[in-house]
Structure 1
Amino acid sequence: MRVAVKYEDRIPGDGMFVVGIDVAPGQYVCQTPGDGYWVRYPASMVGPVTGRHPGAGVVAVVIEPDDTAFDSHMPADWVKVPARRPRSPVPPPARTAKRVRTILDPDIPADTRKALQADLALVRHVRTGSPWSRYRSGQDGWRPQARFIVCVLAFIWLSPSIGFARAALLIGVLFGVLSVFRRMGASGRQRLAELARANPGWFLIDEDFDDASRALVARAQKAARRVRKASVYRDGLLDVADHEVLLPWEEWEIARALSKVSRLRAEQDKLVAGGLAEPVEQVLTPMRETLDTVVASVTGRVEALERYAAKVREADRLFLAHHQLRALADQADEYRDLLAETVRDDLAVSELARLSSNVNRLRAALEESLDAVRQAALDMSPRDK
């Protein structure tokens, strides 16, 4: 049932409004000619959430259903964005590329980036409106039943010794304290959501790419995963280039370029959906050639990352073989004693010399492979670009 509010589709730019009485939850935009600020008052323990806009332009705010009030100090009115109605059940087009993981800007502050990386469901909610709760509702499906069972068992155990009334009071206080801690933990997650909503350029998601671009991004992510899984990477043998900087930057730069290409392609397709006149074709041709040039350049960058991952895997294979031969070389004394008991000493020396020679050759090959990987990392390093 729809609840009538004082301002249904437009909110005055200046004033304090009660959510659910004066204004309705939803997304609003303001075409402001100057500076201004606004404050949201969530019902939870998060506290006021302030937004500022220095200068002219279009700004947006989302009034959540659990907000209690909205305080606006803007030189223009807020206009409500109509909610998107679900379209008729038409099956989505089949994808020809693997889904890509959410990609974060490496310039995000380290603590914030780590928190967003650990909560990608929040990122998708900010961009797509997918289901999300500040309490991590996806993990809470079993908890109400478990709390009820614990409450019953505790009441049965405590009531004979301290009485029914005291047992009920103690259990009520316990669950009240747990609820407070739960809300305190949720406040940080909601602040993170507000921060992500205020900075939409911090991340790219799967929906930002068309099929062709999605395939290239997936290749780049696969190559980066191969590097991170390599033993020579985990053990710190690739110490020339800072991989914690190199790999995220490569992934981000590739994805950002391809997301722009995907957006421009979609705009072109939408523009010419009703037909294409000859003058327009003449204008679009160089634009399409530009996009093709960018895609070719990014493809070369992805292929370079894949070649680098192949070098790292080869070094990893040699690194494993090196460890295996070193383990055999450590058993040289046992082999010497065994050979001395059965054959002449000169044969034992010859066999051990051959084993040592194999270890030395493999060590040289490993060092040569690691040098090649280090040089490739330096060539790809963003500091050289």
Structure 2
Amino acid sequence: MQRVVIDPEVPADVASLFRKNGPLLYRFRTGRIPKPQDGARVPGALLGALGASSLLALGLTVVTGMPMRFLAPLICLYIAILAIVYLVRKPSPADSVERVLYWHSMQWQGRYLILEDFDYSARSLLGRVQQAIDFILRSRINTLGMLDSVRNSVMLPAEEWEIARLLTKLSALRARHGNLARGGRTPEVAAAMAPLERALAASEAAVVARVEALERYARHVADAERALVSQNQIDALRAHLPEYEQLVAETGAARFFAPEIGHLSEDADLLRRALRDSVLSAHEAFRYLDG
């Protein structure tokens, strides 16, 4: 399942909050506003402001003789403004997760993308992007620093954001294009839309190429991972090699098994070269991805 995609400029704690609450972000998009303090009563400051406005209205009625019915709309407007200000105020530590999330979602609007921003085709591509990135960042050769782990941690999230941003644009344009074409097209309209359809197809192909570049990088990382695991296993076997050599020597079986045991060192050397080549290939793929 795809996660929320976030602009790398968004602070890490806010980004983590967004990723954990994708469904809530969608509900905010559809107009839901969280209740103050999880449904608690309106805070004293707001009640005080409402009381002050009521006293002010009463005073104006007495001084000016203006009927209350003329002041009522102004009071309602003032109350509504106060309520909106309260709802969008900066959250305090005592606020609910929902209110904190709502405030951040307003503050960082346009800097995060949820699943509903993508059409079916775009979601599939986004899933491939996130799968490749997750594998690279969690790989052992990355955590061991055999890749450029620092650049990976910066560049790969930026690439995820850029691809996701392009996919949302593609999704929106495809939806609009489909709506325009609904209900049939005359030859004239079809001719006018043909260049736009080619532009959409070319743009999608360019995004797919970026996705495939990420996947190639992930495959090279996977090759290096397998070589590393195999090398570690062979090295563990070599550590016990003297015990095997002693055993075959004592049993008089050296003439039968010495050549086979000797191949262990050759296998280890081959795996070391394979690991080195795999890491070099991953670095090459990274440079290609980096443009």
Q: TM-score, normalised by structure 1?
A: 0.55
2:151, 2:282 → 1: CA distance?
13
More strand, by proportion: 1
SS in structure 2 opposite 1:107?
Answer: coil
CA contact (8 A) 1:125 1:132 kept: no
Aligned to 2:266: 357
SS in structure 2 opposite 1:200?
Answer: coil
Aligned to 2:115: 206
CA contact (8 A) 2:3 2:22 kept: no
SS in structure 2 opposite 1:302?
Answer: helix
Aligned to 1:249: 158
Say what the alpha-carbon RMSD is for the aligned residues.
2.9
Residues 67-122 of structure 1: per-residue CA shift (max 9 Å, x gap): xxxxxxxxxxxxxxxxxxxxxxxxxxxxxxxx532211122233332332344344
State the AA in 2 paired with 1:343.
G
2:37, 2:154 → 1: CA distance?
32
2:26 aligned with 1:117:
no
2:178, 2:172 → 1: CA distance?
10
CA contact (8 A) 2:28 2:102 kept: yes
1:297, 1:116 → 2: CA distance?
28
More helix, by proportion: 2
Distance 1:345 1:193, change over 3 A: same
Q: TM-score, normalised by structure 2?
A: 0.71
2:286 aligned with 1:374:
no
SS in structure 1 opposite 2:93?
Answer: helix
2:269, 2:36 → 1: CA distance?
58
1:132, 1:332 → 2: CA distance?
67
Q: Which runs of 5+ in 1 are unaligned?
A: 1-98, 138-182
Matches within 5 A, 1:29-178: 100-129=2-31
CA contact (8 A) 2:37 2:96 kept: no
Deviation (angstroms), 1:314:
1.4
Deviation (angstroms), 1:285:
1.5
1:314, 1:281 → 2: CA distance?
48
Aligned to 2:232: 323
Aligned to 2:56: none
SS in structure 2 opposite 1:101?
Answer: coil
Moved more, 197-206 or 268-277: 268-277
CA contact (8 A) 1:127 1:200 kept: no
Q: List structure 1 segments (4+ residues) > 4 angstroms apart after TM superposition.
A: 129-137, 344-352
CA contact (8 A) 1:241 1:377 kept: no
Distance 1:364 1:133, change over 3 A: farther
2:182 aligned with 1:273:
yes
1:245, 1:134 → 2: CA distance?
37
Aligned to 2:247: 338
Distance 1:339 1:319, change over 3 A: same
Aligned to 2:172: 263
2:28, 2:106 → 1: CA distance?
6
1:350, 1:195 → 2: CA distance?
67
CA contact (8 A) 1:308 1:373 kept: yes
2:207 aligned with 1:302:
no
1:215, 1:112 → 2: CA distance?
26
State the AA in 2 paired with 1:250.
E
Deviation (angstroms), 1:190:
2.4
2:147 aligned with 1:238:
yes
1:254, 1:217 → 2: CA distance?
8
State the AA in 2 paired with 1:266.
A
Deviation (angstroms), 1:241:
6.3
2:108, 2:270 → 1: CA distance?
53
Q: Which runs of 5+ in 2 are unaligned?
A: 40-91
Q: 1:219 aligns with which of 128, 139, 148?
A: 128
State the AA in 1 paired with 2:141.
V
1:377, 1:216 → 2: CA distance?
19
Moved more, 280-289 or 371-380: 280-289
CA contact (8 A) 2:34 2:102 kept: no
2:257, 2:2 → 1: CA distance?
57
CA contact (8 A) 2:6 2:113 kept: yes
